Amino acid sequence: MKDNFLVDIQIAHSELSMRLKQWLKDCVQLELGHSQDAHLHIWDMATFRYQRQLGQPVPLSTVVLDETYEADHEREVLMSGALDYAHQQLPATNLILRLSLHVQRLEHVQKLESLSITDNLTGVFNRRKYDEDLDRCWRQSIRQQTPCTLLLLDVDHFKVFNDTYGHLAGDQCLREIAKVFQEEAVRPHDTVARIGGEEFAIILPDTPKIGAVHVANRILKRVSSLGILNEETPFGVVTLSAGIACVTPTAKDRLVNFQSHADDALYEAKAKGRNCVVSEVSSSPHIFAD
């Protein structure tokens, strides 16, 4: 079971609540906490109805434990889209078994979802997750009028590296570089993704340009300090080039132009000799709005 599988228990029956929490702690070792983002919600009927009164959608991973079995309650819960309805008069072993099966099923779904958005080679997010998160960051920035910042990074002379040391060494090189990215972009809402062969992206929501430049320079310094040999190149070790785009967008601005601006910055970093960061493009044909 993954450590970040969060279970939300909201049951007025204190003895049952304590037994469930002890079971989760001793047998399954999950994390407990109240959150709409929890992977499994175990609610009593009062909590279920309170959430409905607030106009909150019932999470699909919700199990409602009623005090006694009520057919009308069961129908109401299941029609809401909740995962299951059970009652507290069930034998404890049966109730625990039922919940255990739900946990196993949800964990399996969680693993499948993780695989669908993860780059197999490096363990960072893949292009699909990058596209989703960049679109989300863009829309959030429009709503909240906060900066949307994109950092594109490309491994310099990577073809030379593969030709010199072989593709297995190239794969290991990418893994080590990706680890640096993950250690530097540590906020929960930052996204690190591999979007091409040796090209990576880091999405930094609500981050000013100066902050992105600082992150990029720190990453470039760390990667070069790894000392991964690339002897047939000017620097003698593996380095990165980075391009940055940062804007507080309006509804008139286009995400595709924003991405093109980041591409232009990366190309300019390559043209300047590589192993550098460009955040101001000298002559870009792209603008954010039409």
Between 285 and 70, the higher pLDDT residue: 70
Phi-psi group of 59: left, alpha or beta (phi > 0 → left; psi -120 to 50 → alpha; rest → beta): beta
Question: Residue ranges of the alpha helices (H) in 117-208?
Answer: 127-144, 158-165, 167-184
CATH class of 6-116: alpha beta
Average pLDDT (79-92) is: 89
Distance of alpha carbon 54 from alpha carbon 170, whole angstroms: 53
Distance of alpha carbon 287 from alpha carbon 257, whole angstroms: 6
pTM attached to this predicted model: 0.72
The domain locations on the chain are: 6-116, 127-278
pLDDT of residue 241: 98
Rounded CA Rg of the chain: 25
Distance of alpha carbon 201 from alpha carbon 204, whole angstroms: 10
pLDDT of residue 178: 98
In contact, 66 and 123? CB cutoff 8 Å: no
CATH class of 127-278: alpha beta
Q: pLDDT-based confidence at 92, cuts 50/70/90?
A: confident
Regarding beta strands 240-247 and 148-155, do their DSSP bridges make them parallel or antiparallel, or are they unpaired? Answer: antiparallel
Percent of the chain at pLDDT > 70 equals: 87
In contact, 216 and 242? CB cutoff 8 Å: yes
Q: pLDDT-based confidence at 8, cuts 50/70/90?
A: confident
Cα angle value 76/23/32 (rounded, 5°)? 70
Sheet with 277-278: list strands edge to edge: 191-194, 199-205, 148-155, 240-247, 277-278
Percent of the chain at pLDDT > 90 equals: 66
Average pLDDT (4-18) is: 70
Distance of alpha carbon 112 from alpha carbon 244, whole angstroms: 32
pLDDT 10s digits, 15-69 = 666 777 666 655 554 544 455 556 788 899 999 999 999 988 888 889 999 989 9
Average pLDDT (66-94) is: 91
Average pLDDT (182-199) is: 94
Distance of alpha carbon 238 from alpha carbon 229, whole angstroms: 6
pLDDT 10s digits, 205-262 = 999 999 999 999 999 999 999 999 999 999 999 999 999 999 999 999 999 999 999 9
pLDDT of residue 192: 98
